[in-house]
Chain A
Amino acid sequence: MTNTSTTDNTAVEYDKVLLHASVKLNTRLLAGVFGFVSGLSLFVITYISMYRGMPDTGQYLRLLGVFLPGYEVSHFGAWVGFFWGAIIGALLAAMFYRIYARSIPDLIKAYLRDGARNDDLLGMPMQLSGHYLGLALGTIISAGLVVTTNWLVIRGTADESTHAQLLVNFLPGYSVSTVGSFIGAIELFIITYVLSLLFSWIYNNVVAFRGKK
Chain B
Amino acid sequence: MDKSNQDKAILMASFAKMDPVALAVALGCISGFIIFLATGLLLIQGAPEGQEIGPHLALLGIYLPGYEVTWPGAVLGAFYFGLMGVIAGFVIATLWNLTHYIYIVLTVARAVWWKMMAD
Contact = CB atoms under 8 A, between A and B. Distances in A.
Question: Could you say which interface size class chain A belongs to?
Answer: 35 or more
B99 A195 contact: no
Contacts of B38: 170
A60 B95 CA distance: 31
A125 B13 CA distance: 9
A202 B30 contact: yes
B34 A195 contact: yes
A159 interface: no
The prevalent SS among residues of B at the interface is helix
A207 B63 CA distance: 32
A14 B63 contact: no
Contacts of B41: 169-170
A12 B103 contact: no
Contacts of A22: 10-11, 14-15
B17 A125 contact: yes
Contacts of B10: 14-15, 18-19, 22, 104, 108
Contacts of A156: none
B85 to A, nearest CB: 10
A125 B4 CA distance: 20
A23 B42 contact: no
Given A18-B10, A202-B30, A118 B5 contact: yes
A contact patch SS:
helix
Contacts, number: 123
A64 interface: no
A126 B26 contact: no
Interface string B1-35: 10111111111111111110111011101100110
A18 B15 CA distance: 12
B33 to A, nearest CB: 8
B59 interface: yes
Interface string A15-53: 100110011011001101100010000000100110010
Interface of A: 12-15, 18-19, 22-23, 25-26, 29-30, 32-33, 37, 45, 48-49, 52, 54, 60, 104, 107-108, 111-112, 116, 118, 121-127, 163, 166, 169-170, 195, 198-200, 202-204, 206-207, 210
Interface of B: 1, 3-19, 21-23, 25-27, 29-30, 33-34, 38, 41-42, 45, 54, 56, 59, 62-63, 91-92, 95-96, 99-100, 103
Given A195-B33, A203-B22, A210-B22, 9 more contacts: A12-B1, A104-B14, A112-B1, A121-B8, A121-B12, A125-B16, A125-B17, A199-B26, A207-B19
